[in-house]
Amino acid sequence: MPQLIFKNVSKENYVKLAKPISERVAAIIEVPVDYIVAEYSGAIFIRGGEVDEHSAMVWISWKKRTPQMQAKVAEAIADELEKAGYDPVEVVYDNLDMNDFYEFKKNK
């Protein structure tokens, strides 16, 4: 269920990074990797009227977890993005009220 929305990350880097980031997040929060949804947003950042190709942001929508777990996830994501040349890296959490979340899935 956690959804990771990548902003200001090139499509090429997103394709390379989505799997290792998803795997690290899944391991930290102890869920199957297919529970993680990574989304390429195509957003670009403009700072001072210029395209900023160096910074990255990841928005995470999920059920609220402990501050310690949030910090571990943020550090893991930052580590992968920094290795790809992004600096600074920002991670923002959107903690959902799970009473407002519905998932419909037919078993196969």
Q: Which of 42, 52, 46, 50 is nearest to 14 (CA)?
A: 42
Q: What is the CATH number of the domain that holds 40?
A: 3.30.429.10
In a domain, 105, yes or no: no
Contacts of 16 (CB under 8 A, 6+ apart): 84
Percent of the chain with pLDDT over 90: 87
The residue-averaged pLDDT of 13-18 equals 96
Length of the chain: 108
**Number of compact structural domains in the chain:** 1
At 50, the amino acid letter reads E
In a domain, 108, yes or no: no
In a domain, 71, yes or no: yes
Q: Inform me whether the pLDDT recorded for 17 exceeds 90.
A: yes
pLDDT tens for 22-34 read 999 999 999 999 9
In a domain, 107, yes or no: no
Q: What is the pLDDT of residue 75?
A: 98
**What average pLDDT is seen over the chain?**
94
Angle of CA points 91, 94, 100, to nearest 5°: 160
Q: What is the pLDDT of residue 40?
A: 96
Q: Which domain holds residue 45?
A: 3-100
